[in-house]
Amino acid sequence: MKNQSATQVAILGGGCFWCLEAVFLEARGVLKVECGYMGGQEEQPTYEQVCAGATGHAEVVRIVFDPDAVDYRDLLEVFFTIHDPTTPNRQGNDVGAQYRSVIFVDSPEQEATARQVIAQMACVWDAPIVTEVQPASTWYKAEDEHQNYFSRNPLQGYCALVVAPKVSKFLATFGGRLA
């Protein structure tokens, strides 16, 4: 395993963090995925507060990856394949700013790559991409019960009906290249 200084971090929000976490845990080069919150004003927010929509935070995943095994651009391509970046503050039945499509960047290089990928993906979607690109701010890790949620609850209704199809789509689309 490479030393920590050789890793990079991507922070992405695209609806419920359980979906993103489950997919990115399957991706080659991903060393760790944590569910959490970013982009709001409330310090130490809880899941209940974020779901209520008053904190300004988005549900996000913090992905630690090995850039020698997978690059940031590849992670963004997966991101744009497994969620709908054209619906402001919504993913399926999940509605509110906490479910917005957002990329939190921590460098000019990440920002440039994010904007390039958004421009390239614009021709894939029938509506304009509304994904926000924002500077990373304070990261708040979600409660333990939200970590590895899909792997611990695969038969739970939301997991079976929403998360599992996204994991299947990832494996079918990227299996030969990134899984």
Using CB atoms within 10 Å of the CB of residue 164, give its burial: 0 to 12 exposed, 13 to 18 middle, 19+ buried: middle
**Apex CA 70: angle with CA 28 and CA 161, to 5°?**
50
Q: What are the DSSP E strand ranges found in the chain?
A: 8-14, 30-38, 58-65, 90-91, 94-95, 101-105, 132-135, 140-141
- Given a contact cutoff of 8 angstroms between Cβ atoms, the answer to whether 61 and 11 are in contact is yes
- Give the tokens for residue 23: 């997919």
How many residues belong to the chain? 179
Pair 167, 82: CB distance under 8 Å: no
Among the options 16, 19, 35, 159, which is catalytic?
16
- Does the annotation mark 51 as catalytic? no
Region label for 169, one of left (φ > 0), alpha (ψ between -120 and 50) or beta (otherwise): alpha
What is the set of active-site residues?
16
